[in-house]
Structure 1
Amino acid sequence: MAGKRKNEEADPRQAVHESRQYQVYGNDNPKPAKKPRRQEQPKEHKKQAHASSVNDIKKRIRDVTRRLQRVEDLPADVRIEDERALAAYQQELAAAEAEKIRQKMISKYHMVRFFERQKATRQLKRLRKQILATESAEEVEALKTQMHVAEVDLNYTQNSPLSEPYISLYPLQKDSLKVSEDAPKTEDSQPKPAMWFEVEKCMEDSTLNKLRNRVGKPPVHNSKPLEMIARRPKAKPTPVPDTSGLNRRERRSQQRVLEGSKKGKNKSMGFEKNAIFGASQSAKGHKSEVVEDDDDSDVGFFEQ
Protein backbone atom coordinates (compact mmCIF):
# COMPACT_ATOMS: atom_id res chain seq x y z
CA MET A 1 0.00 0.00 0.00
CA ALA A 2 1.47 3.24 -1.13
CA GLY A 3 2.10 5.84 1.48
CA LYS A 4 0.63 9.31 1.53
CA ARG A 5 2.28 11.95 -0.57
CA LYS A 6 4.04 14.62 1.35
CA ASN A 7 2.91 18.16 0.75
CA GLU A 8 5.65 19.87 -1.11
CA GLU A 9 6.46 23.16 0.46
CA ALA A 10 6.41 25.58 -2.45
CA ASP A 11 7.16 29.27 -2.40
CA PRO A 12 3.83 31.09 -2.09
CA ARG A 13 5.06 33.77 -4.47
CA GLN A 14 5.57 31.22 -7.23
CA ALA A 15 2.12 29.73 -6.72
CA VAL A 16 0.42 33.10 -7.29
CA HIS A 17 -0.08 34.54 -10.73
CA GLU A 18 1.98 37.53 -11.73
CA SER A 19 -1.07 39.77 -11.87
CA ARG A 20 -1.73 38.97 -8.16
CA GLN A 21 1.81 39.21 -6.83
CA TYR A 22 1.21 42.60 -5.25
CA GLN A 23 -1.47 41.02 -3.00
CA VAL A 24 0.99 38.58 -1.36
CA TYR A 25 2.03 39.67 2.11
CA GLY A 26 5.65 40.80 2.29
CA ASN A 27 5.98 41.49 -1.41
CA ASP A 28 8.46 44.26 -2.06
CA ASN A 29 6.88 45.32 -5.34
CA PRO A 30 3.85 47.46 -4.59
CA LYS A 31 0.82 47.64 -6.81
CA PRO A 32 1.68 49.47 -10.00
CA ALA A 33 0.17 52.90 -10.18
CA LYS A 34 -2.57 53.58 -12.64
CA LYS A 35 -1.66 54.99 -15.97
CA PRO A 36 -1.76 58.76 -15.64
CA ARG A 37 -4.55 60.33 -17.57
CA ARG A 38 -3.71 62.69 -20.33
CA GLN A 39 -4.69 66.13 -19.27
CA GLU A 40 -6.00 67.59 -22.46
CA GLN A 41 -7.37 71.05 -22.64
CA PRO A 42 -11.14 70.95 -23.04
CA LYS A 43 -12.37 72.00 -26.41
CA GLU A 44 -14.19 75.26 -26.54
CA HIS A 45 -17.76 74.52 -27.48
CA LYS A 46 -19.76 77.42 -28.71
CA LYS A 47 -22.93 77.86 -26.76
CA GLN A 48 -26.01 77.86 -28.90
CA ALA A 49 -27.80 81.16 -28.80
CA HIS A 50 -31.21 80.77 -27.24
CA ALA A 51 -34.10 83.18 -27.61
CA SER A 52 -33.98 83.97 -23.90
CA SER A 53 -30.29 85.00 -24.11
CA VAL A 54 -31.03 87.34 -27.03
CA ASN A 55 -33.95 88.87 -25.14
CA ASP A 56 -31.78 89.27 -22.03
CA ILE A 57 -29.16 91.20 -24.01
CA LYS A 58 -31.86 93.39 -25.56
CA LYS A 59 -33.24 94.14 -22.10
CA ARG A 60 -29.81 95.24 -20.87
CA ILE A 61 -29.38 97.46 -23.93
CA ARG A 62 -32.77 99.10 -23.24
CA ASP A 63 -31.90 99.71 -19.59
CA VAL A 64 -28.55 101.34 -20.38
CA THR A 65 -30.05 103.42 -23.20
CA ARG A 66 -32.85 104.73 -21.01
CA ARG A 67 -30.44 105.59 -18.23
CA LEU A 68 -28.24 107.54 -20.64
CA GLN A 69 -31.20 109.39 -22.16
CA ARG A 70 -33.20 110.24 -19.06
CA VAL A 71 -30.66 110.92 -16.33
CA GLU A 72 -29.47 114.48 -16.87
CA ASP A 73 -27.06 114.86 -13.95
CA LEU A 74 -25.22 111.57 -14.60
CA PRO A 75 -21.53 111.72 -13.59
CA ALA A 76 -19.00 111.71 -16.42
CA ASP A 77 -17.25 108.49 -15.36
CA VAL A 78 -20.58 106.65 -15.02
CA ARG A 79 -21.69 107.88 -18.44
CA ILE A 80 -18.45 106.66 -20.05
CA GLU A 81 -18.84 103.22 -18.44
CA ASP A 82 -22.45 102.98 -19.62
CA GLU A 83 -21.48 103.92 -23.18
CA ARG A 84 -18.75 101.25 -23.21
CA ALA A 85 -21.18 98.69 -21.79
CA LEU A 86 -23.72 99.63 -24.45
CA ALA A 87 -21.17 99.05 -27.24
CA ALA A 88 -20.21 95.67 -25.72
CA TYR A 89 -23.87 94.63 -25.41
CA GLN A 90 -24.49 95.51 -29.05
CA GLN A 91 -21.57 93.30 -30.11
CA GLU A 92 -22.91 90.45 -27.96
CA LEU A 93 -26.34 90.89 -29.52
CA ALA A 94 -24.89 90.72 -33.05
CA ALA A 95 -22.95 87.53 -32.19
CA ALA A 96 -25.98 85.92 -30.50
CA GLU A 97 -28.26 86.68 -33.43
CA ALA A 98 -25.67 85.36 -35.91
CA GLU A 99 -25.39 82.11 -33.93
CA LYS A 100 -29.18 81.87 -33.78
CA ILE A 101 -29.39 82.20 -37.58
CA ARG A 102 -26.63 79.59 -37.96
CA GLN A 103 -28.49 77.04 -35.84
CA LYS A 104 -31.67 77.75 -37.76
CA MET A 105 -29.95 77.13 -41.11
CA ILE A 106 -28.33 73.92 -39.85
CA SER A 107 -31.64 72.45 -38.73
CA LYS A 108 -33.41 73.61 -41.90
CA TYR A 109 -31.01 72.09 -44.46
CA HIS A 110 -29.77 69.12 -42.45
CA MET A 111 -31.70 66.47 -44.38
CA VAL A 112 -30.93 67.97 -47.80
CA ARG A 113 -27.21 68.02 -47.02
CA PHE A 114 -27.33 64.42 -45.77
CA PHE A 115 -29.06 62.95 -48.84
CA GLU A 116 -26.91 64.88 -51.31
CA ARG A 117 -23.75 63.86 -49.44
CA GLN A 118 -24.77 60.21 -49.73
CA LYS A 119 -25.48 60.63 -53.42
CA ALA A 120 -22.14 62.35 -54.10
CA THR A 121 -20.31 59.62 -52.15
CA ARG A 122 -21.93 56.87 -54.22
CA GLN A 123 -21.03 58.62 -57.47
CA LEU A 124 -17.42 59.05 -56.35
CA LYS A 125 -17.09 55.35 -55.45
CA ARG A 126 -18.63 54.32 -58.77
CA LEU A 127 -16.22 56.49 -60.76
CA ARG A 128 -13.20 55.13 -58.88
CA LYS A 129 -14.23 51.57 -59.71
CA GLN A 130 -14.68 52.50 -63.35
CA ILE A 131 -11.20 54.07 -63.48
CA LEU A 132 -9.64 50.91 -62.07
CA ALA A 133 -11.53 48.74 -64.55
CA THR A 134 -10.86 50.90 -67.63
CA GLU A 135 -7.76 50.43 -69.77
CA SER A 136 -8.28 53.14 -72.37
CA ALA A 137 -6.36 56.33 -71.62
CA GLU A 138 -9.03 58.59 -73.11
CA GLU A 139 -11.76 57.06 -70.98
CA VAL A 140 -9.57 57.35 -67.89
CA GLU A 141 -9.08 61.08 -68.52
CA ALA A 142 -12.82 61.57 -68.99
CA LEU A 143 -13.55 59.62 -65.80
CA LYS A 144 -10.97 61.66 -63.88
CA THR A 145 -12.74 64.85 -64.96
CA GLN A 146 -16.05 63.42 -63.74
CA MET A 147 -14.40 62.30 -60.51
CA HIS A 148 -13.11 65.83 -59.89
CA VAL A 149 -16.66 67.14 -60.26
CA ALA A 150 -17.90 64.47 -57.85
CA GLU A 151 -15.21 65.42 -55.31
CA VAL A 152 -16.24 69.06 -55.50
CA ASP A 153 -19.87 67.99 -55.09
CA LEU A 154 -18.98 66.03 -51.97
CA ASN A 155 -16.99 68.91 -50.49
CA TYR A 156 -19.85 71.26 -51.36
CA THR A 157 -22.29 69.20 -49.31
CA GLN A 158 -19.87 69.02 -46.38
CA ASN A 159 -18.21 72.45 -46.33
CA SER A 160 -20.83 74.80 -47.66
CA PRO A 161 -21.24 77.71 -45.16
CA LEU A 162 -23.51 76.61 -42.34
CA SER A 163 -24.87 80.08 -41.67
CA GLU A 164 -26.04 80.66 -45.25
CA PRO A 165 -28.92 79.12 -47.22
CA TYR A 166 -27.98 75.84 -48.91
CA ILE A 167 -28.66 75.55 -52.64
CA SER A 168 -29.33 72.00 -53.77
CA LEU A 169 -27.01 70.36 -56.29
CA TYR A 170 -29.63 67.91 -57.54
CA PRO A 171 -32.95 69.79 -57.60
CA LEU A 172 -36.07 67.87 -58.51
CA GLN A 173 -37.33 68.76 -61.96
CA LYS A 174 -41.05 69.25 -62.51
CA ASP A 175 -40.97 67.42 -65.82
CA SER A 176 -39.02 64.46 -64.42
CA LEU A 177 -42.11 62.25 -64.54
CA LYS A 178 -42.64 62.93 -68.22
CA VAL A 179 -39.08 61.99 -69.18
CA SER A 180 -38.72 58.40 -70.26
CA GLU A 181 -36.57 56.03 -68.29
CA ASP A 182 -34.36 55.28 -71.31
CA ALA A 183 -33.33 58.94 -71.65
CA PRO A 184 -29.75 59.67 -70.58
CA LYS A 185 -29.21 61.35 -67.22
CA THR A 186 -28.21 64.99 -67.34
CA GLU A 187 -27.00 65.53 -63.79
CA ASP A 188 -23.61 66.84 -64.91
CA SER A 189 -25.24 69.28 -67.34
CA GLN A 190 -27.19 71.04 -64.57
CA PRO A 191 -25.84 74.51 -63.77
CA LYS A 192 -23.81 74.63 -60.58
CA PRO A 193 -24.48 77.30 -57.94
CA ALA A 194 -21.95 80.08 -57.41
CA MET A 195 -20.87 78.56 -54.10
CA TRP A 196 -19.77 75.40 -55.95
CA PHE A 197 -16.96 77.28 -57.72
CA GLU A 198 -15.96 78.92 -54.44
CA VAL A 199 -15.67 75.46 -52.88
CA GLU A 200 -13.51 74.34 -55.81
CA LYS A 201 -11.20 77.29 -55.23
CA CYS A 202 -11.01 76.59 -51.48
CA MET A 203 -10.03 72.98 -52.26
CA GLU A 204 -6.95 74.29 -54.05
CA ASP A 205 -6.15 76.72 -51.20
CA SER A 206 -6.94 74.18 -48.42
CA THR A 207 -9.37 76.59 -46.71
CA LEU A 208 -12.52 74.46 -46.65
CA ASN A 209 -12.85 74.58 -42.87
CA LYS A 210 -12.71 78.37 -42.92
CA LEU A 211 -15.41 78.43 -45.58
CA ARG A 212 -17.63 76.07 -43.58
CA ASN A 213 -17.52 78.24 -40.45
CA ARG A 214 -17.81 81.53 -42.27
CA VAL A 215 -20.02 83.98 -40.42
CA GLY A 216 -22.75 85.53 -42.49
CA LYS A 217 -23.69 89.17 -42.59
CA PRO A 218 -25.11 90.28 -39.23
CA PRO A 219 -28.63 91.73 -39.20
CA VAL A 220 -28.74 95.49 -39.62
CA HIS A 221 -29.94 97.44 -36.58
CA ASN A 222 -30.90 101.03 -37.26
CA SER A 223 -29.82 102.43 -33.91
CA LYS A 224 -30.66 106.07 -33.40
CA PRO A 225 -28.14 108.40 -31.76
CA LEU A 226 -28.67 108.96 -28.07
CA GLU A 227 -30.61 112.12 -27.32
CA MET A 228 -31.75 113.48 -24.00
CA ILE A 229 -35.51 113.18 -23.52
CA ALA A 230 -37.09 116.44 -22.31
CA ARG A 231 -39.00 115.86 -19.11
CA ARG A 232 -42.29 117.50 -18.25
CA PRO A 233 -42.06 120.14 -15.54
CA LYS A 234 -43.39 118.91 -12.26
CA ALA A 235 -46.61 120.51 -11.04
CA LYS A 236 -46.10 122.83 -8.11
CA PRO A 237 -47.90 121.74 -4.95
CA THR A 238 -50.81 123.91 -3.87
CA PRO A 239 -49.83 126.16 -0.98
CA VAL A 240 -51.41 125.30 2.36
CA PRO A 241 -53.32 128.29 3.76
CA ASP A 242 -52.11 129.67 7.05
CA THR A 243 -54.79 129.16 9.73
CA SER A 244 -52.69 129.96 12.74
CA GLY A 245 -54.60 133.17 13.69
CA LEU A 246 -58.10 131.84 12.95
CA ASN A 247 -60.57 130.28 15.30
CA ARG A 248 -62.36 127.00 14.73
CA ARG A 249 -65.34 128.49 12.91
CA GLU A 250 -63.17 130.49 10.53
CA ARG A 251 -60.98 127.49 9.80
CA ARG A 252 -64.04 125.35 8.96
CA SER A 253 -65.47 128.00 6.68
CA GLN A 254 -62.15 128.35 4.88
CA GLN A 255 -61.94 124.57 4.49
CA ARG A 256 -65.46 124.46 3.03
CA VAL A 257 -64.51 127.13 0.52
CA LEU A 258 -61.49 125.08 -0.59
CA GLU A 259 -63.53 121.89 -0.87
CA GLY A 260 -66.18 123.71 -2.86
CA SER A 261 -63.62 125.00 -5.32
CA LYS A 262 -62.24 121.47 -5.80
CA LYS A 263 -65.70 120.05 -6.41
CA GLY A 264 -66.40 122.79 -8.92
CA LYS A 265 -63.23 121.96 -10.82
CA ASN A 266 -64.05 118.27 -10.86
CA LYS A 267 -67.66 118.74 -11.98
CA SER A 268 -67.08 121.39 -14.61
CA MET A 269 -66.62 118.89 -17.45
CA GLY A 270 -69.58 116.85 -16.26
CA PHE A 271 -71.86 119.87 -16.26
CA GLU A 272 -70.75 120.81 -19.76
CA LYS A 273 -71.53 117.31 -21.06
CA ASN A 274 -74.92 117.29 -19.35
CA ALA A 275 -75.73 120.69 -20.81
CA ILE A 276 -75.14 119.33 -24.31
CA PHE A 277 -77.81 116.65 -23.79
CA GLY A 278 -80.26 119.08 -22.07
CA ALA A 279 -79.90 117.62 -18.58
CA SER A 280 -78.92 120.86 -16.81
CA GLN A 281 -82.30 121.43 -15.11
CA SER A 282 -82.33 121.03 -11.35
CA ALA A 283 -84.69 118.95 -9.30
CA LYS A 284 -86.32 122.08 -7.83
CA GLY A 285 -87.27 123.25 -11.30
CA HIS A 286 -89.04 119.96 -11.93
CA LYS A 287 -90.94 120.24 -8.66
CA SER A 288 -92.09 123.81 -9.37
CA GLU A 289 -93.34 122.77 -12.80
CA VAL A 290 -95.29 119.94 -11.25
CA VAL A 291 -96.86 122.30 -8.67
CA GLU A 292 -97.84 124.81 -11.37
CA ASP A 293 -99.45 122.05 -13.37
CA ASP A 294 -101.43 120.99 -10.30
CA ASP A 295 -102.63 124.56 -9.70
CA ASP A 296 -103.77 124.93 -13.27
CA SER A 297 -105.65 121.69 -13.08
CA ASP A 298 -107.42 122.71 -9.85
CA VAL A 299 -108.47 126.10 -11.21
CA GLY A 300 -109.87 124.51 -14.29
CA PHE A 301 -111.86 122.04 -12.17
CA PHE A 302 -113.56 124.76 -10.05
CA GLU A 303 -114.27 126.95 -13.08
CA GLN A 304 -116.25 124.17 -14.62
Structure 2
Amino acid sequence: MATKRPHSAIHPSRREQVPQDEQPRRKRQKPDHIHGKSFKKAHTVHELRTHIRSLKRLLEHNDDLPADVRVEKERALQTAQHELAETERAKERSDMIGKWHKVRFFERQKASKRLKRARRAVAECEDLAGKVELEARVEEAEVDVNYAMYFPLGMEYVPLFPKRRRRSEGAEGGEGDGGQGVGGDEERQGDQKVWQLVRRCMEDGQLEALRNGKLTGSRAEGDAGSVVTTHKKRAKEKRRAPNVVVEGNRRERRSALAAHADSEAESEGGFFE
Protein backbone atom coordinates (compact mmCIF):
# COMPACT_ATOMS: atom_id res chain seq x y z
CA MET A 1 0.00 0.00 0.00
CA ALA A 2 1.41 3.35 -1.00
CA THR A 3 2.15 5.84 1.73
CA LYS A 4 0.59 9.26 1.80
CA ARG A 5 2.82 12.04 0.64
CA PRO A 6 3.72 14.69 3.18
CA HIS A 7 2.13 18.13 2.88
CA SER A 8 5.46 19.66 1.90
CA ALA A 9 5.60 17.40 -1.19
CA ILE A 10 2.40 18.91 -2.61
CA HIS A 11 2.82 21.55 -5.26
CA PRO A 12 2.39 25.10 -3.85
CA SER A 13 -0.41 25.87 -6.29
CA ARG A 14 -2.52 22.98 -4.87
CA ARG A 15 -1.83 23.33 -1.16
CA GLU A 16 -4.98 25.41 -0.56
CA GLN A 17 -7.15 22.72 -2.18
CA VAL A 18 -5.79 19.84 -0.07
CA PRO A 19 -7.34 19.62 3.44
CA GLN A 20 -4.96 19.71 6.38
CA ASP A 21 -5.64 16.95 8.90
CA GLU A 22 -3.33 18.37 11.53
CA GLN A 23 -5.26 21.67 11.92
CA PRO A 24 -9.04 21.22 12.39
CA ARG A 25 -11.32 23.78 10.82
CA ARG A 26 -12.31 26.60 13.09
CA LYS A 27 -15.99 27.04 13.67
CA ARG A 28 -17.38 30.22 12.19
CA GLN A 29 -18.28 32.63 14.95
CA LYS A 30 -21.45 34.65 14.94
CA PRO A 31 -21.45 38.41 15.53
CA ASP A 32 -21.51 39.59 19.12
CA HIS A 33 -24.93 41.24 18.90
CA ILE A 34 -26.59 37.90 18.00
CA HIS A 35 -25.43 36.17 21.19
CA GLY A 36 -26.61 38.92 23.52
CA LYS A 37 -30.12 39.31 24.85
CA SER A 38 -32.53 41.65 23.18
CA PHE A 39 -33.24 45.05 24.68
CA LYS A 40 -36.67 43.92 25.86
CA LYS A 41 -35.24 40.89 27.68
CA ALA A 42 -32.21 42.74 29.01
CA HIS A 43 -34.36 45.51 30.57
CA THR A 44 -37.29 43.70 32.10
CA VAL A 45 -39.75 45.42 34.38
CA HIS A 46 -39.16 42.86 37.14
CA GLU A 47 -35.42 43.54 37.26
CA LEU A 48 -35.96 47.30 37.34
CA ARG A 49 -38.46 47.03 40.19
CA THR A 50 -36.10 44.80 42.15
CA HIS A 51 -33.26 47.28 41.62
CA ILE A 52 -35.45 50.19 42.73
CA ARG A 53 -36.60 48.34 45.84
CA SER A 54 -33.04 47.47 46.85
CA LEU A 55 -31.88 51.07 46.37
CA LYS A 56 -34.77 52.40 48.46
CA ARG A 57 -33.97 49.98 51.28
CA LEU A 58 -30.32 50.92 51.15
CA LEU A 59 -31.09 54.63 51.43
CA GLU A 60 -33.77 54.24 54.11
CA HIS A 61 -31.98 51.86 56.49
CA ASN A 62 -28.39 53.13 56.22
CA ASP A 63 -28.11 56.57 57.75
CA ASP A 64 -24.32 56.40 58.05
CA LEU A 65 -23.66 56.30 54.31
CA PRO A 66 -20.99 58.71 53.07
CA ALA A 67 -22.33 61.78 51.32
CA ASP A 68 -20.84 60.91 47.93
CA VAL A 69 -22.19 57.34 48.09
CA ARG A 70 -25.66 58.57 49.05
CA VAL A 71 -25.71 61.06 46.17
CA GLU A 72 -24.61 58.33 43.77
CA LYS A 73 -27.31 55.92 44.97
CA GLU A 74 -30.00 58.62 44.80
CA ARG A 75 -29.05 59.36 41.19
CA ALA A 76 -29.12 55.65 40.39
CA LEU A 77 -32.58 55.44 41.97
CA GLN A 78 -33.88 58.33 39.87
CA THR A 79 -32.43 56.76 36.72
CA ALA A 80 -34.01 53.39 37.49
CA GLN A 81 -37.40 54.98 38.19
CA HIS A 82 -37.22 56.89 34.91
CA GLU A 83 -36.31 53.71 33.00
CA LEU A 84 -39.18 51.85 34.66
CA ALA A 85 -41.67 54.57 33.71
CA GLU A 86 -40.41 54.60 30.12
CA THR A 87 -40.56 50.80 29.89
CA GLU A 88 -44.12 50.65 31.22
CA ARG A 89 -45.19 53.46 28.92
CA ALA A 90 -43.66 51.69 25.92
CA LYS A 91 -45.40 48.45 26.87
CA GLU A 92 -48.78 50.16 27.20
CA ARG A 93 -48.26 51.87 23.86
CA SER A 94 -47.30 48.58 22.20
CA ASP A 95 -50.35 46.83 23.66
CA MET A 96 -52.61 49.65 22.48
CA ILE A 97 -51.18 49.50 18.96
CA GLY A 98 -51.70 45.75 18.75
CA LYS A 99 -55.22 46.01 20.12
CA TRP A 100 -56.50 48.55 17.58
CA HIS A 101 -54.30 47.73 14.59
CA LYS A 102 -56.97 45.90 12.57
CA VAL A 103 -59.71 48.38 13.40
CA ARG A 104 -57.57 51.32 12.29
CA PHE A 105 -56.57 49.50 9.10
CA PHE A 106 -60.14 48.72 8.02
CA GLU A 107 -61.36 52.19 8.95
CA ARG A 108 -58.56 53.75 6.93
CA GLN A 109 -59.59 51.61 3.96
CA LYS A 110 -63.22 52.62 4.29
CA ALA A 111 -62.38 56.31 4.75
CA SER A 112 -60.13 56.19 1.67
CA LYS A 113 -62.97 54.74 -0.42
CA ARG A 114 -65.34 57.45 0.82
CA LEU A 115 -62.74 60.08 -0.08
CA LYS A 116 -62.39 58.70 -3.62
CA ARG A 117 -66.17 58.74 -4.09
CA ALA A 118 -66.37 62.29 -2.79
CA ARG A 119 -63.65 63.49 -5.18
CA ARG A 120 -65.35 61.70 -8.07
CA ALA A 121 -68.63 63.39 -7.16
CA VAL A 122 -66.91 66.80 -7.18
CA ALA A 123 -65.38 66.11 -10.59
CA GLU A 124 -68.74 65.04 -12.05
CA CYS A 125 -70.78 67.86 -10.48
CA GLU A 126 -71.64 70.82 -12.71
CA ASP A 127 -73.77 72.81 -10.28
CA LEU A 128 -71.74 75.49 -8.44
CA ALA A 129 -73.79 75.37 -5.22
CA GLY A 130 -73.69 71.59 -5.10
CA LYS A 131 -69.97 71.61 -5.84
CA VAL A 132 -69.26 73.74 -2.76
CA GLU A 133 -71.13 71.28 -0.57
CA LEU A 134 -69.31 68.33 -2.12
CA GLU A 135 -65.93 70.02 -1.60
CA ALA A 136 -66.78 70.38 2.08
CA ARG A 137 -67.51 66.65 2.17
CA VAL A 138 -64.13 66.00 0.55
CA GLU A 139 -62.42 67.94 3.34
CA GLU A 140 -64.31 65.96 5.96
CA ALA A 141 -63.39 62.69 4.26
CA GLU A 142 -59.72 63.74 4.29
CA VAL A 143 -59.98 64.37 8.02
CA ASP A 144 -61.55 60.91 8.43
CA VAL A 145 -58.58 59.28 6.69
CA ASN A 146 -56.09 61.19 8.82
CA TYR A 147 -58.14 60.39 11.93
CA ALA A 148 -57.64 56.67 11.32
CA MET A 149 -53.96 57.14 10.48
CA TYR A 150 -52.81 59.73 13.03
CA PHE A 151 -55.02 59.04 16.05
CA PRO A 152 -52.63 59.09 19.07
CA LEU A 153 -51.14 55.62 19.39
CA GLY A 154 -51.03 55.74 23.17
CA MET A 155 -54.75 56.47 23.54
CA GLU A 156 -57.74 54.13 23.40
CA TYR A 157 -58.92 54.36 19.80
CA VAL A 158 -62.53 55.46 19.27
CA PRO A 159 -63.83 53.97 15.99
CA LEU A 160 -65.33 56.25 13.38
CA PHE A 161 -67.64 53.57 12.02
CA PRO A 162 -68.54 51.08 14.77
CA LYS A 163 -69.78 47.64 13.77
CA ARG A 164 -73.19 48.07 15.41
CA ARG A 165 -73.82 51.16 13.31
CA ARG A 166 -72.93 49.39 10.09
CA ARG A 167 -75.10 46.38 10.89
CA SER A 168 -78.13 48.48 11.78
CA GLU A 169 -77.78 50.56 8.64
CA GLY A 170 -77.40 47.44 6.49
CA ALA A 171 -80.48 45.87 8.06
CA GLU A 172 -82.65 48.97 7.64
CA GLY A 173 -81.79 50.49 4.29
CA GLY A 174 -79.51 48.08 2.49
CA GLU A 175 -76.98 50.66 1.25
CA GLY A 176 -75.55 52.20 4.37
CA ASP A 177 -72.50 53.34 2.46
CA GLY A 178 -74.19 55.16 -0.39
CA GLY A 179 -72.95 58.22 -2.20
CA GLN A 180 -75.33 60.54 -0.36
CA GLY A 181 -73.61 59.78 2.95
CA VAL A 182 -70.08 60.60 1.92
CA GLY A 183 -68.53 62.27 4.94
CA GLY A 184 -71.94 62.86 6.54
CA ASP A 185 -72.23 63.53 10.26
CA GLU A 186 -75.02 60.95 10.60
CA GLU A 187 -72.57 58.13 9.78
CA ARG A 188 -69.39 59.36 11.42
CA GLN A 189 -68.93 58.83 15.14
CA GLY A 190 -65.53 58.66 16.82
CA ASP A 191 -64.05 61.14 19.25
CA GLN A 192 -65.12 64.59 18.07
CA LYS A 193 -62.44 66.40 20.08
CA VAL A 194 -59.68 64.33 18.49
CA TRP A 195 -61.37 64.75 15.09
CA GLN A 196 -61.25 68.53 15.42
CA LEU A 197 -57.67 68.29 16.68
CA VAL A 198 -56.71 66.25 13.61
CA ARG A 199 -58.28 68.94 11.45
CA ARG A 200 -56.17 71.65 13.11
CA CYS A 201 -53.02 69.54 12.89
CA MET A 202 -53.60 69.10 9.16
CA GLU A 203 -53.43 72.86 8.78
CA ASP A 204 -50.39 73.20 11.07
CA GLY A 205 -48.50 70.17 9.73
CA GLN A 206 -48.31 68.46 13.14
CA LEU A 207 -49.93 65.11 12.37
CA GLU A 208 -46.82 63.07 13.20
CA ALA A 209 -46.50 64.81 16.57
CA LEU A 210 -50.14 64.02 17.28
CA ARG A 211 -49.69 60.37 16.33
CA ASN A 212 -46.64 59.93 18.57
CA GLY A 213 -48.34 61.50 21.57
CA LYS A 214 -46.29 64.71 21.59
CA LEU A 215 -49.39 66.85 21.10
CA THR A 216 -52.62 66.65 23.08
CA GLY A 217 -55.92 68.44 22.85
CA SER A 218 -55.40 70.33 26.10
CA ARG A 219 -52.04 71.60 24.92
CA ALA A 220 -53.35 72.70 21.53
CA GLU A 221 -56.31 74.43 23.10
CA GLY A 222 -54.23 75.86 25.90
CA ASP A 223 -51.86 77.75 23.62
CA ALA A 224 -54.51 80.20 22.51
CA GLY A 225 -55.88 80.47 26.03
CA SER A 226 -52.50 81.24 27.49
CA VAL A 227 -51.93 84.00 24.93
CA VAL A 228 -55.29 85.56 25.76
CA THR A 229 -54.58 85.32 29.49
CA THR A 230 -51.18 86.97 29.04
CA HIS A 231 -52.70 89.87 27.11
CA LYS A 232 -55.38 90.30 29.79
CA LYS A 233 -52.78 90.34 32.56
CA ARG A 234 -50.69 92.93 30.75
CA ALA A 235 -53.73 95.12 30.13
CA LYS A 236 -54.76 94.79 33.76
CA GLU A 237 -51.29 95.70 35.00
CA LYS A 238 -51.16 98.63 32.63
CA ARG A 239 -54.55 99.76 33.90
CA ARG A 240 -53.41 99.50 37.49
CA ALA A 241 -50.11 101.29 36.91
CA PRO A 242 -50.38 104.86 38.18
CA ASN A 243 -49.83 107.49 35.53
CA VAL A 244 -48.53 110.08 37.98
CA VAL A 245 -45.46 112.17 37.36
CA VAL A 246 -43.86 113.15 40.65
CA GLU A 247 -40.78 115.28 41.01
CA GLY A 248 -38.30 114.88 43.83
CA ASN A 249 -35.97 112.24 45.17
CA ARG A 250 -36.65 108.51 45.23
CA ARG A 251 -38.23 108.46 48.70
CA GLU A 252 -40.63 111.29 47.85
CA ARG A 253 -41.67 109.64 44.56
CA ARG A 254 -42.26 106.30 46.31
CA SER A 255 -44.44 107.83 49.02
CA ALA A 256 -46.43 109.81 46.44
CA LEU A 257 -47.10 106.69 44.35
CA ALA A 258 -48.18 104.73 47.43
CA ALA A 259 -50.60 107.48 48.41
CA HIS A 260 -52.01 107.54 44.88
CA ALA A 261 -52.52 103.76 44.92
CA ASP A 262 -54.35 103.96 48.27
CA SER A 263 -56.66 106.66 46.97
CA GLU A 264 -57.47 104.56 43.86
CA ALA A 265 -58.24 101.51 46.00
CA GLU A 266 -60.64 103.53 48.15
CA SER A 267 -62.38 104.99 45.10
CA GLU A 268 -62.75 101.61 43.29
CA GLY A 269 -64.47 99.67 46.04
CA GLY A 270 -66.40 100.73 49.12
CA PHE A 271 -66.67 98.78 52.34
CA PHE A 272 -69.98 97.06 51.53
CA GLU A 273 -69.84 97.46 47.75
Fold equivalence (TM over 0.5): yes
In structure 2, the residue matched to 1:121 is 112
Question: When you count helix as a share of all residues, which structure comes out higher?
Answer: 2
Secondary structure of residue in 1 paired with 2:65 = coil
Instruction: Answer yes or no: is the 8 Å Cα contact 1:50–1:100 preserved in 2.
Output: no
Distance change (3 Å), C-alpha of 1:215 and 1:103? farther
Distance change (3 Å), C-alpha of 1:184 and 1:57? closer
Give the Cα–Cα distance (whole angstroms) in 2 for the partners of residues 80 and 196 of structure 1.
47
> How many residues are matched?
171
Shift in Å at residue 133 of structure 1? 1.5
The residue type equivalent to 1:146 in the other structure is R
Give the Cα–Cα distance (whole angstroms) in 2 for the partners of residues 162 and 179 of structure 1.
34
- Per-residue CA deviation, residues 128-180 of structure 1 (Å, 9 max, x unaligned), is 11211221111211110111110000000111100111000001236446413
In structure 2, the residue matched to 1:205 is 204
Shift in Å at residue 182 of structure 1? 6.4
The residue type equivalent to 1:208 in the other structure is L
Residue 179 of structure 2 corresponds to residue 188 of structure 1: no
Identity over the aligned pairs, expressed in percent?
Answer: 39
Q: How do 1:272-283 residues align onto structure 2 when only pairs under 5 Å count?
A: none
Structure 2-normalised TM-score? 0.57
In structure 2, the residue matched to 1:269 is none
Q: 2:46 aligns with which of 39, 55, 58?
A: 55
The residue type equivalent to 1:102 in the other structure is R
Secondary structure of residue in 2 paired with 1:173 = helix
Q: 1:69 aligns with which of 60, 63, 70?
A: 60
Distance change (3 Å), C-alpha of 1:130 and 1:176? closer
Q: How do 1:243-258 residues align onto structure 2 when only pairs under 5 Å count?
A: none
The residue type equivalent to 2:205 in the other structure is S
- Per-residue CA deviation, residues 91-124 of structure 1 (Å, 9 max, x unaligned), is 1111111111100000000000000000011111
Tell which has more relative contact order, 1 or 2 (C-alpha 8 A, sep 6+): 1
Shift in Å at residue 192 of structure 1? 4.5
Residue 163 of structure 2 corresponds to residue 151 of structure 1: no
Give the Cα–Cα distance (whole angstroms) in 2 for the partners of residues 184 and 99 of structure 1.
37
The farther-off stretch of 108-117 and 57-66 is 57-66
Structure 1-normalised TM-score? 0.51
The residue type equivalent to 1:188 in the other structure is D
Q: 1:84 aligns with which of 66, 75, 92?
A: 75
The residue type equivalent to 2:153 in the other structure is L
Give the Cα–Cα distance (whole angstroms) in 1 for the partners of residues 81 and 215 of structure 2.
17
Q: Which has the larger radius of gyration?
A: 1
Secondary structure of residue in 2 paired with 1:135 = coil
In structure 2, the residue matched to 1:41 is none
Give the Cα–Cα distance (whole angstroms) in 1 for the partners of residues 74 and 42 of structure 2.
25
In structure 1, the residue matched to 2:123 is 132
